[in-house]
């Protein structure tokens, strides 16, 4: 009987984990978690960037088709893209018999719900911010991104949203042309300027160099990316808008805007006067 008891005790020793073995297993699990979780989160972020890029390309193509049919551009503001491209804008039909929507079909998650203006003003996760020349950030008010033409003043503010549930910015070629000609528009503070210059001949034969906005013939479409932040102009306080240097394909693989994410769209290095690298925009494709 004693022999049987001894055998049982030895069997228990063989099947039970020791404290050291358990610590080793826990350590391995923690190492795996430390490797897998960041990679999974990074994968989700990259998926969002890819989805946004595809979305902007689709919008750009839809707006081009609309312009081909009507010889008009939708007014600036992505809420107008939703109304016009999906066929909810009878005024467009009045101005062109060739207006044949839908030019784009939107999912529920693509469009803000009614009352988004209140959400934008009250919830920081819905707002866009501007990185200033000093390196700080300041929120953009609802009035700085919702600039509605008089004939659309009754339209509910329902902008198109990026995967981070923030408004996508769309600026019409009409406003870009006004910016280029120096006439000014309410959207000047959000127009991205290239480092390309053109020669303007004045009425008296004067010659003046002017910076050229991106997307002059197609419009500007962009998302501020994961951190919801874009940047001020790098050309001096007397010029509104923001500045994106050329060479967008340069790949320095650095986190230039210090948001712990390196984006696939733009790796351009630089100081606080450059557009954050995680902005997704139509002038990069």
Mind listing the pLDDT tens digit of every residue in the chain (285 residues)?
555 555 555 555 556 678 787 888 888 888 877 776 666 667 788 788 889 989 999 999 999 999 999 999 999 999 999 999 998 877 666 667 788 889 999 999 999 998 999 999 999 999 998 876 666 778 999 999 998 887 777 778 899 999 999 999 999 999 999 988 888 888 888 888 776 778 877 777 788 887 788 899 999 998 988 888 887 654 443 444 554 443 333 445 555 544 455 544 343 444 433 455 677 888 777
Q: Identify the pLDDT of residue 162.
A: 96
Positive or negative: CA dihedral 251, 254, 258, 262: positive
Task: State the pLDDT at residue 132.
Answer: 67
Q: What gap in Å lies between CA 283 and CA 112, rounded to an integer?
A: 24
User: How many CB atoms are located within 10 Å of the residue 260 CB?
Assistant: 11
Q: What's residue 59's pLDDT?
A: 97
Taking CA atoms, 137 is separated from 57, 128, 165, 169, 276, in Å, by 28, 10, 19, 18, 12
Distances (CA, A) of 147 to 12, 41, 219, 245: 76, 35, 16, 27
Peptide bond into 102 cis (omega under 30): yes
- Whether the Cβ atoms of residue 106 and residue 82 lie closer than 8 Å to each other: yes
Say what the pLDDT of residue 202 is: 72
Taking the C-alpha atoms of residue 56 and residue 168, their distance in angstroms, rounded to an integer, is 9
Q: Where are the domains of the chain?
A: 18-284
The pLDDT score that the predictor gives to residue 16 is 65
Distance of CA 38 to the CA centre of its chain: 22
Beta strands in 178-284 (DSSP E): 192-201, 207-213, 220-223, 229-231, 242-243, 280-281
Exposed, middle or buried by CB within 10 Å (0-12, 13-18, 19+), for 41? exposed
The pTM of the full predicted model, rounded to 2 decimals, is 0.77
What are the angstrom distances between the C-alpha of 229 and each of 34, 116, 120, 232? 28, 19, 14, 10
- Spell out the residues 6+ positions from residue 184 whose beta carbon is closer than 8 angstroms to its own: 178
For residue 15, the model assigns a pLDDT of 61
Pairing state between β 229-231 and 129-131: parallel
Question: Facing residues of 243 across strands?
Answer: 193
Do residues 161 and 112 lie in contact, with contact meaning Cβ atoms separated by under 8 Å?
A: yes
């Amino acid at each position: 009987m004693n022999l049987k008891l001894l055998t049982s005790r030895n069997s228990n020793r063989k099947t039970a984990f020791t404290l050291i073995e358990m610590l080793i297993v826990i350590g391995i699990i923690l190492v795996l978690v430390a490797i897998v979780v960041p990679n999974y989160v990074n994968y989700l972020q990259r998926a969002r960037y890819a989805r946004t890029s595809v979305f902007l390309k689709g919008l750009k193509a839809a707006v081009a088709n609309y312009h081909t049919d009507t010889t008009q551009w939708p007014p600036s503001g992505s809420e107008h893209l939703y109304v016009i491209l999906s066929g909810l804008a009878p005024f467009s039909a009045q101005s062109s018999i060739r207006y044949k929507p839908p030019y784009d079909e939107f999912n529920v998650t693509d469009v803000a719900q009614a009352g988004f203006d209140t959400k934008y003003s009250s919830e920081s996760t819905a707002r866009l911010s501007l990185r200033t020349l000093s390196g700080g950030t300041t929120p953009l008010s609802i009035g700085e991104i919702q600039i509605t033409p008089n004939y659309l003043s009754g339209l509910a503010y329902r902008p198109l949203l990026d995967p981070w549930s923030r408004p996508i910015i769309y600026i019409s070629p009409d406003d870009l042309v006004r910016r280029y000609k120096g006439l000014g528009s309410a959207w000047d503070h959000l127009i991205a300027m290239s480092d390309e210059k053109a020669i303007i001949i004045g009425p008296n034969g004067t010659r003046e160099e002017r910076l050229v906005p991106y997307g002059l013939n197609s419009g500007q479409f962009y998302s501020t990316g994961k951190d919801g932040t874009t940047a001020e102009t790098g050309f001096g306080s007397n010029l509104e808008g923001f500045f994106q240097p050329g060479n967008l394909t340069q790949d320095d693989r650095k986190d230039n805007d210090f948001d712990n994410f390196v984006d696939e769209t733009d790796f351009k290095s630089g100081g606080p006067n450059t557009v954050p690298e995680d902005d997704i925009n139509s002038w990069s494709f």
